[in-house]
Amino acid sequence: MRGGKINILFVCTVNRMRSATAHRIFESDLRFEVDSAGTDQSANTVLEADHLEWADAIIVMEKKHRNFIRQKFPDYYHKKIIVCLYIPDDFYFMEPALITILKEKVEDVYRRVLLGHPGSEIR
């Protein structure tokens, strides 16, 4: 956390739909500094160790993204907050339904996990 803001990294597969939408809708949120990346080599921004180092919290869209981090970056997997939103790859960039889901789920993560409320689910 820098300057009172939480650094959040959004991760999906190719960083074109889900994580890119999350990046766009939360980049002006005063609580967060945001970035996004994808796990696939064809991603707009390919996930690198530097992204994980920067992040206070990593928000992945599916379990396979969390598992990718666990396999490729085990040190970061064990020392960072990683939250899965369970959002399937069924949406287009900035699709209204995706925006609604992201806003609801990220708010829930913010309240329960990032603010450290009891009963929060990290993995």
pLDDT, averaged in runs of 10, over the chain (123 residues): 84 98 97 97 97 97 98 96 96 98 96 64 44
How confident is the model at residue 107, as a pLDDT? Answer: 95
Query: Any idea what the CATH number is for the domain that residue 93 is in?
Result: 3.40.50.2300
pLDDT value at position 2? 61
Residue 118 CB: number of other CB atoms within 10 A? 5
Please tell me the pTM assigned to this model.
0.91
- Residue 3 confidence (pLDDT): 66
Is 85 a member of any domain? yes
CB 49 within 8 A of CB 31: no
Q: Which pLDDT belongs to residue 118?
A: 41
* pLDDT score of 104: 97
- Closest to 6 measured CA to CA, from 117, 82, 110, 107: 110
- Number of domains forming the structure of the chain: 1
Phi, psi angles (nearest 5°) of residue 122: -95, -55
- 113 within a domain of the structure (yes/no): no
